[in-house]
Chains A and B, each alone.
Chain A
Amino acid sequence: NAGVTQTPKFQVLKTGQSMTLQCAQDMNHNSMYWYRQDPGMGLRLIYYSASEGTTDKGEVPNGYNVSRLNKREFSLRLESAAPSQTSVYFCASRSSGASGGGTGELFFGEGSRLTVL
């Protein structure tokens, strides 16, 4: 049981390049999230998906797009990378609450460290 898997773990881009961060979970969770982690700012929500086929903006969506490909996969795309997008990106999925037999907690991937030069 792998949990939440993110790829790649590390990536260096030049300003203006594009890339996609991949995320997959095997826990049959409905909700998935993308966060960025920056020193002194904690985790900030970029986009989330409450269920398959739906996505919505979080706190810092500018410069990003997402795709909820199916229940398992939720990808994050940078169309034209900027140095301000240098960060560590975390994907997470959420178990159902008590009524669904779960704890409602978030499960995180290992993170993807992105550097934009």
Chain B
Amino acid sequence: AQRVTQPEKLLSVFKGAPVELKCNYSYSGSPELFWYVQYSRQRLQLLLRHISRESIKGFTADLNKGETSFHLKKPFAQEEDSAMYYCALRVRDNFNKFYFGSGTKLNVKP
């Protein structure tokens, strides 16, 4: 069965510190992974996709199929990065369902 695990409910770091939000998935097919972010009082929005291999707002994420992970990283956290982050797995062969992790709340302290 498909599953996305985000082990940390809350991650607190100081401004300027590196941050890594962990995401592990289980899926027997070819995975497509996403990171979504929800800032306070805003709707969920796409942060980045593994397919595009881009850096958005200084964040990057690499798909590691061997470790079935898609961790989100940023070398220097900013206060405006404080938000709820969700890792999501898209399953193409099951009507494109998206499975979400339980989310990690990132708190960047000044």
Q: Are B102 and A41 in contact (CB under 8 A)?
A: yes
Q: Is the interface of B mostly helix, strand, loop or mixed?
A: strand
Residues of chain B having any CB pair with chain A under 8 Å: 4, 6, 9, 32, 34, 36, 42-46, 49, 52, 86, 88, 90, 95-103
A106–B97 alpha-carbon span in the complex (Å): 10
Q: Are A45 and B43 in contact (CB under 8 A)?
A: no
Q: Count residues of A near B (Cβ-Cβ below 8 Å).
A: 25
Q: Are B98 and A45 in contact (CB under 8 A)?
A: yes
Q: Are B96 and A42 in contact (CB under 8 A)?
A: no
State whether the Cβ of A94 lies closer than 8 Å to any Cβ in chain B.
yes
A35–B38 alpha-carbon span in the complex (Å): 15
Q: Write 19 A-B pairs (CB below 8 A) sorted by A numbering.
A: A35-B100, A40-B9, A41-B102, A42-B4, A42-B86, A42-B100, A42-B101, A42-B102, A43-B44, A43-B100, A44-B100, A56-B95, A94-B96, A94-B98, A104-B90, A104-B96, A105-B46, A106-B46, A111-B43
